[in-house]
Amino acid sequence: MTNAVKIKGKIEYILEAKAVSANLSEAQYSQLYRYFSTTDCSIAILTNGIQIWFFTDLDAPNKLDSNPFFKFDLFDYNDNDLKELEKFHHDRFSIEDIKSSASTLKRMKAAISSIEAQFNEPDDEFVRMISKGFYDGKMTASVVLEFKPIIKRAFEDLVRQKIQKRLTAAFNENVNIPTIKDIDSVTQLSEDADGIETTGEEIDGFNIVRAIGAEVADISRIVMRDQKSYCGINFDDNNRKPIVRLHLNSKTKFLTIFDADKAGTRFDIVQVTDIFKAKNQIVSVIQSYLKNGAS
C-alpha cells in the first residue's frame, strides 16, 4: 500500500507500507520508485511498521536512490536517531534541511565503511601514510609487511581506549566507580561467601559491564553476585536474568555471555578491557530483559 503525505498543500513524501513480517532488505517496492519519479516529492519512505527506511534522490534528480539515507527501528534506536526523526515532524519539516542531512549521512556511511575496512585489514597505502608519522626510513615492501600488524593493533587499541573513556565518563555521571573497600555497598554477593574472594579484575569487569549497560538501562539494575567458580552479573539481581559470567581467576580468561533465551556462549579475552569487544552481545541481552520486563 502506497500513500502520499501533504504538508502545506504540497506532497512532500510518499510512503509504502509492508507487512510487519516483511524483511525490508528483500522487499520489492517498485511502486515507490514509480510514484517518486512521477510526483514532485523529495522523500520516499518504506516501512513494515517497525523499521522505517527513508530514501531521496541524491544520486540522480527525480530518481529514487537504491539505498536509504536513514533507517529508524522502533526497537533499536538512540538519541541521534530521534534527532534525525524530528526533522520529519510537521512543524519542523524542511526539505532543504532534510536533504542536506541526507547528504551528510550518506558521506558519513561511506567514511565509516572505508575506516572499518582499514580497521579490519589495513592496506599498504594506509600503512605507509600512518608510518610516515614515526618512521623516517624507506617504506619498502618488507617494512610495510612488518608494520601492518602493528598499525592494526594500534588502531584497535586506540578505538578501545576511546570507547572505554566515553563509557567510563558516562558511568561516572551516575555513580562512583566502586573499589574493593566499598564493593558491598553497590553489589549483592553470594549469601554463602565462604571461600569467595572478589578480585580487582572482577570489580573492573563489573564496572565495564555496567558502563556498557548504562547506554540502555539504569545501572542500578545491573548487579554482581560473586561465586566460587565465576563472578556472575545479573539483571535486577535476578539469577534467572543472567547477563554475563566473568571467568578471570586463571591464566585463561573468558566470559560466558547469555542471549535472550538464556543460552550461554563462551567469549575468550586476554585482558579485562577486552570485555568492550562484547559490547553488542551485552547490550542485546539487557535489551531483551527490558522488552520482557514482566517475565
Model confidence at 254: pLDDT above 90: yes
User: Taking 90 as the threshold, does the pLDDT of residue 255 lie above it?
Assistant: yes
| H-type alpha helices, the chain | 30-38, 79-86, 95-120, 124-131, 141-172, 200-213, 279-291
User: Residue 293's pLDDT is what?
Assistant: 65
Q: How confident is the model at residue 190 (pLDDT cuts 50, 70, 90)?
A: very low
Element (H, E) at 71: strand 70-73
C-alpha dist (Å) from residue 70 to 102, 216, 220, 262, 265: 7, 21, 33, 33, 33
125's grid cell: 597505502
257 three-class SS: strand
Residue 65 has pLDDT above 50, yes or no: yes
Write out pLDDT tens, residues 197-246. 778 888 888 989 988 988 888 888 999 988 878 899 999 888 889 999 99
135-179 pLDDT, tens digit each: 888 889 998 998 988 888 888 777 777 766 665 555 555 444 444
* Cβ 172 vs Cβ 210: under 8 Å: no
Read off the pLDDT of residues 67-115 as tens digits, 9 standing for 90 and up: 888 889 888 887 788 888 888 777 777 777 887 878 888 888 888 888 8
- Per-domain residue ranges of the chain: 2-109, 121-170, 175-291
Distance CA 56, CA 41 (A): 9
pLDDT at 175: 45
- Banded pLDDT at 189 (limits 50, 70, 90): very low
pTM of the model: 0.43
